[in-house]
Structures are given as structure tokens and as C-alpha cells.
Amino acid sequence: MADQNTYNKIEQDIVEIAAKYNLPLDKVETFLQPDRVIEVTLPIKIDEEIVNFKGYRAQHDNTLGPYKGGLRFHPEVTRDEVITLSLLMSLKTALIGVKFGGGKGGVVVDPKSLTAIQLEELAREYVRKIHHVLGHDIDIPAPDVNTNPQILDWMADEYVRLSKKHNPTHVDHKAYATFTGKGKHGLDGRNVATGFGGAVVLGKIAEKLKMKPREITVAVMGFGNVGYNFANFASEKGFQIVAVSDSQGGVIKQTNGELLPLDIPLVFECKQEKGTLAGCYCAGGVCDTRGGRMISNKSLLELPVDVLVPAALGGVINESNMQHIKAKIIIEMANNPITPYAYRFLEKKGVTIVPDVLANSGGVAASYLEWEQNIKNDTYKKADVLKRLTDIMEKAFENTWKVSTKNKTGLKEASYLTALQKLIK
């Protein structure tokens, strides 16, 4: 989870980049402060008792369009966290060129401790408390940690109900555009978008470095929605996915010291059946005469692969293991998976790092398409969605790569600079 220290580090990076490239520091300082942070109390009846939950919504910047950002339900949500993530969203939307600003929300709750009825009431109460600061042209929440299409459907339904009550000229399809990542009125392809976008970025990196996919080995830490879809789409492009992992450990296949590609759909099918990757190395073709086995997440990070993809937790690459990282390319599909010190160490070592603000932006790109689809009262086909996502991600990568090459700097600095030049005028 992000904290004040994370925010301070991002703020420091932005100020240093602004000074280096002669951006007006007074405007940068103004940009760094969120436009508004809403704090609400959400009373929910639990076992004949009223329990008050804390909720937040940070609206960081709307220079380029309505505030946009996820909403998480987690016991460690803090005001500082949602501010930090809203700042990153402002940079991300500017970087990839969609007409959104940056926002983020959260409720301090362990959703597993609630019944489905209580969870629905919490979702609806959150909307009731902040309805006045939401809207298809004001602020647009989306799923994030521990929230999903069902929760967003409850929220959208409550928002539509309140909109009809307060505004006689209300239009349903525009009200539905106030939320993305929905089940109903959602976008076909939204669930795969973040992983798909990362795979597009991997393809562009290979192209720039003049490497053929079939010659590139990839290890993916995290086999949830993002990690699986990244691995699956990358495998379809011909990349050799030789290791994947979840919280319990990773799967590899090896013969004579050589890592062999995994059957990603088969591994995923096994995980769905078992609930974890533990034991999946003996599912079908994954465990055969060439030998399949489990490894720890620590070992996965240190495998001799070409590309390492942290797609789960923050801070997994840090001072304790940075010297053991052998990958020449790292694609940050998780948020902040590399600590600042380790980031500097690896860049100096010559590792190409695609930052999270670019690598995992396929999700917000798809959110933009869902929003646009709802505004137009249309239904987009998945093939068209993936084609437009490809175009958005490739353009963002090309722009960032061009800035990186021109200024002889890393992709993270180039990403921030590209975004800031659009935001600071």
C-alpha cells in the first residue's frame, strides 16, 4: 500500500524532473496538490449494531478531463494512499492520451468480514455520501483492490436512482458512464485490458531492442487477472513464458538447466480448479518427462530470464535482492514493485525498466472506451476494443521511447516528463 513516504518520493521525482527540463516550478507545485479530498463516514448495520466505516475520494487533477480512478475496499486504506494513487492516475491518463484526469477512492474495510448484503449496503452508502461530486463529466470511479464488477453495478444502480430523484432531465446511459468496470453496461474486453496492454508493451520493447519473441524468456510474478492475461497474450505473441507464480510460489519446467515454456491456459485451468498454483506443476503437460516443479517467489525473481514481470505486490524488488536480479528487462505490471533505491541500482546496471505508469495503463485506457461507449449509448465489440487498446498503448510507448532516447534517460523519467508537459501549461 502507498503511504506518505511513497508520495514524497514521487513528489521529489516530479520536482527534480521539472527543474531539469525547465518546467515552471510554481505550476508544478500547484499540480502536486490534489484539487479536493472528500472524507465520509459510512454507517452500516451489522448484527443489530451500527458500525461506522471511513471512506475517501481524492480528486487530484482535471486539466485534461473528468477525474478518473479506482475505488478500493481494504483495511489499510489511508488518506495519504488515495492522494498518492490519484496523483499517479493524473500522470497515467496524461501519458496515454485519454481525456481523463486523476482520482482515487477507498473505504477502510475488510470486505471478507461482510456478508453480501452488508457489502452491497456499504457500496450504495458510499455513493449516497459522494453522489454530489460524481458524474460522467466530473469524476468516474472504477474497480480496484477488492472491488469488482458486481460492486460497481451496485454503485452505478444507486447513482442512477439518485440522479433520477434529483434531476428530472437525467439520461440513464450518461449516468452509467459515471462508473467503469461494470458488469451491466460494461465493456467487452475490460477484464483483460490491463494484462493485454502490458503484452503490447512487451511486443514494442522486443521490437525496439530487435529481439524475436521466440528468443525471449519471461517470468511473471503474480498470476491473478493481470498476470494471467499478460502471460496468456504474451504467449500468444510467441514469447516464452517460462515461470509464473501466485502468493504460494511459482511453476517452472526445466531440462538440462534450460527453462522451457509453460502451457499458460493449462496452468490457469489448474489454478482455477485448485485455487492455487501449488501442485499444478503436475497438471497435464506441465509435469512430464522433462520435469516440472514449484519454486519460491524469491527464486522466481532471481531466475536467469530476459524479462521479469512483477504483477502482484509493491516493493518485491528491493535492497535485499536487487543484486541477484538477472533479467535485462523489467515490466512493472504491479504498482511500485521496485523500491526507489533498487530502481536506481538496476537502471545504473543497464536494466531497461518499463514503469507501472505506462506498463499497466491498459486498464484505464479500456475504462475510457467504456465511458465513451456509454456516452454514445453504444456497444463495442471486443475485437474493436482490443484494436483500439493496441493503438493507444503503442502510441504511448512510442512517445515515451522517443523522449527517453532524445534525452538519454530511463523510461520512468521519460514517462513523467511526457505527462507533465501535457499537464503543466
Three cell numbers written together for 361? 495503463
Three cell numbers written together for 294? 514449484
Options 104, 174, 182, 253, the catalytic residue: 104
What stretches of 1-64 show up as alpha helix (H) in DSSP?
A: 4-20, 25-32
50: enclosing H helix or E strand:
strand 49-61
Cβ–Cβ < 8 Å for 100, 61? no
Q: Grid cell 436512482 — which residue?
A: 161
What stretches of 33-171 show up as alpha helix (H) in DSSP?
A: 79-96, 116-130, 149-166
Question: What strands, in cross-sheet order, belong to the sheet with 102-108?
Answer: 36-46, 49-61, 102-108, 67-74, 139-143
Catalytic residue check, 425? no
CA atoms of 108 and 150, how far apart (whole Å): 19
CA atoms of 217 and 367, how far apart (whole Å): 31
Three cell numbers written together for 243? 515461470
* Catalytic residue set: 104
